[in-house]
Structure 1
Amino acid sequence: MVLVYRMPAKPTAGRVAVWRQLKKIGAISLQQSVCVFPDKQEVRRELDEIIRRVAESGGEWHLLPLRPPTPPERGKLVAQFREQTARQYLEIIENCEVNFQKEIEFETFRKNLTYVEAEEIRIEFEKIVEWFERVLVRDWFGAPNQQEARAWLERCHGLVHQFEAAVYEAEQNGTFGEGGPAWAQGDGAPSGGRPQSLATRSS
């Protein structure tokens, strides 16, 4: 399917909202205000909301069927979809490696082994999982980096369990237990200091 739309230049809030919604459902832009989607029922349902917003903002739109493209053209479209989704998987991997893992290292180093911190870490992990699931449902053509992102989620899940076990042991014994994460043992602080807020790119 192809969506062609036009919206008033002002106010910009409506244009930005439509752009964000189109990105969220996995559209690729052929040019400004011309987007392509696979013809799938779930995509059509979400397009209804986008079209309604375009109309309410005083814009115009056309949703057109796309006849089967030639093999070379189909290859170009599929490559664009795969590249877009692969970048999103890479962002998840970066978030796991640079932010989430470092956050657990930092909190363990400063012995912030509390139930409150454990709950915050689990909530942030669940946000990353939800982010991955949103990308996965739009991965129509098997984009690269999916398996690596999945592996990082499994690794982070293990780190969450290790941190929770360390919190439990600390509360039971009043000390930092030897059963804490292996990378937490040692005298040096984790490099780079406290990481930025987790899952900041998941919106």
Structure 2
Amino acid sequence: MATRRTNPKKPESWLLLIYKVPSDSSRARVAVWRELKRLGGFYVQQAVCVLPDREELRAGMEKVRARVTELGGSSVFLTLNDVEDDVREQFIEGFRDQSAKEYAEIVEECDTKFVKEIEFERFRENYTFEEAEEIRQDLEKLRRWLAKVEGRDWMGADGKDLARTKVADCERLLEEFEADVYERTQGEA
């Protein structure tokens, strides 16, 4: 069951970056794309990215522009203040869809990799501190990932509550596994 999203305040203005990097370097294109995705940018079309107008995002866009220039490219950076309602809704839905997909990926990671890893270690009876520590690191990666997605979910996407629940379930499974590791190894100290 999907969780109903809240309706956060719709942005009054938007940051738009149009850029071009040399076509002979896929490495440059990927570098710029990765930086914009890390910021949470929504691609309206190829090499045209939009973000809500926020001070920290404006600073991030300026860094991306510097990177584009460094890579031998060019860019145009605009603040859009008077956006038609249908365009504004396209942006908002684009951001919501983008965040919802990321939440779904976290849920999938929990269900397919994390849970299966613990099940596999139980099957192998690999109750070691080292294995528990390795799985704990995987949990920390999931937590950081969820925090990043929540940090760029400006439009209230579906899926956040489920992703939080799944990460909490992973934590509970790990705690149970760690308790079993402790019980099985306490005599080895």
1:146 to 157, 160, 167: 160
Taking structure 1 as the reference length, what is the TM-score of the superposition?
Answer: 0.83
Structure 2: gaps (5+ residues): 1-14
Secondary structure of the residue aligned to 2:157 is: coil
Q: How does 1:65-80 map onto structure 2 within 5 Å?
A: 65-80=79-94
The structural deviation recorded for 1:173 is 5.2
Identity %: 43
Question: Among residues 23, 34, 37, which one is paired with 1:9 in the alignment?
Answer: 23
Question: Is 2:113 aligned against 1:99?
Answer: yes
Distance 1:71 1:7 in 2: 31
Q: Which amino acid in 1 is paired with 2:172?
A: G
Report the aligned-residue RMSD.
1.1
Corresponding residue SS for 1:144: coil
Taking the aligned partners of 1:84 and 1:165, their CA distance within structure 2 comes to 37
Deviation at 1:26, TM superposition (A): 1.1
Q: 1:81, 1:141 within 8 Å by CA — same for their partners in 2?
A: yes
Q: Following TM superposition, by how much is the alpha carbon of 1:85 offset from its aligned partner in structure 2, in angstroms?
A: 0.5
Question: Equivalent of 1:116, from 115, 130, 137?
Answer: 130
Aligned position for 2:9? none
Count, aligned residues = 174
* Partner deviation per Cα, 1:43-78 (whole Å, 9 max, x = no partner): 122222211110011111111011232222211210
Whole-angstrom distance in 1 between the partners of 2:59 and 2:21: 21
SS at match of 1:15: helix
Query: Secondary structure of 2:52's match?
Result: coil
Distance between the aligned counterparts of 1:82 and 1:53, measured in 2? 27
Task: Verify the 8 A CA contact 1:14 1:53 in the aligned structure 2.
Answer: no
Instruction: Check whether the contact 2:17–2:61 (CA below 8 A) recurs between aligned residues.
Output: no
Write 1 or 2 for the structure with the bigger share of helix: 2
Is the CA contact (8 Å cut-off) linking 1:114 and 1:167 kept in structure 2? yes
Which of 35, 43, 61 is the equivalent residue of 1:47? 61
Any idea what the Cα deviations from partners look like across 1:16-39, whole Å, max 9, x if unmatched? 100111111111111111111101
For the pair 1:137 / 2:151, whether they are aligned, the reply is yes
Is the contact made by 1:5 and 1:34 (CA closer than 8 Å) also made in structure 2? Answer: yes
Name the SS for the 1:87 alignment partner. helix
Once residues 78 and 86 of structure 2 are traced to their aligned partners in structure 1, the CA distance between those partners, rounded to angstroms, is 21
Distance in 2 separating the partners of 1:11 and 1:154: 42
